[in-house]
């Protein structure tokens, strides 16, 4: 939502009028408006992993990791569709989802990260779509695939790292890593 401000000049100071937040008046014609912290996506804190492929940031936004898909761990229509598609029972999928969640949680929760965007910045649920990097340079999306906790999910036009993810996925499957151990 955009915030609209009307600035009126009155001698000897400047008054800012806002329909939604506090008002500060200064005799020196400076206005201080407490509308919250502005966030950059370089060094932003991951407060929690929501599941294996979704994160929550310190500013409240959710991030969907581009290019990967982890099994569902909660009841949802996608869980049932995945069960039908793969011929796996729901409990098995949910257990794999929990394993992917724990891996992602241990990798990023409480860490400061940098987000990199592709062509589209948001999905239909208004989550940020991003590639995530830890401060040490670890590419989170790729590491989840490399360790065998995600399948591929490519939705053009967000395909910047699709070839890299494909190679990592094949390698994880061939080497029985993560969810592919069984």
Q: Among all residues, which ones are annotated catalytic?
A: 64, 72, 127
Q: Are 151 and 57 in contact (CB under 8 A)?
A: no
For the beta carbon of residue 161, count every other beta carbon within 10 angstroms: 20
C-alpha–C-alpha distance, residues 74 and 90, integer Å: 10
Q: Determine how β-strand 62-65 pairs with β-strand 128-134.
A: parallel
Cα distance between the two ends of the chain: 48
Compute the distance between CA of residue 8 and CA of residue 105 in angstroms, rounded to an integer. Answer: 49
Strands 14-18 and 25-26, sheet pairing: antiparallel
């Amino acid at each position: 939502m955009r915030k609209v401000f009307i600035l009126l000049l009155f001698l000897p100071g400047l008054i800012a009028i806002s329909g939604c937040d506090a008002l500060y008046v200064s005799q020196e014609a400076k206005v201080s408006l407490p509308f919250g912290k502005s966030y950059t996506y370089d060094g932003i804190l991951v407060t929690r992993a929501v599941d294996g492929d979704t994160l929550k940031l310190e500013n409240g936004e959710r991030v969907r990791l581009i290019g990967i898909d982890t099994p569902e761990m909660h009841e949802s229509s996608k869980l049932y569709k995945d069960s039908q598609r793969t011929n796996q029972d729901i409990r098995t999928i949910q257990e794999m989802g929990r394993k992917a969640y724990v891996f992602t949680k241990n990798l990023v929760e409480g860490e400061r990260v940098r987000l990199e965007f592709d062509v589209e910045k948001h999905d239909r649920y208004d989550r940020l779509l991003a590639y995530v990097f830890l401060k040490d340079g670890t590419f989170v999306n790729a590491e989840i695939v490399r360790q065998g906790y995600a399948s591929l999910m490519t939705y053009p036009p967000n395909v910047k790292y699709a070839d890299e993810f494909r190679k990592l996925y094949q390698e994880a499957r061939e080497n029985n890593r993560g969810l592919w151990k069984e």
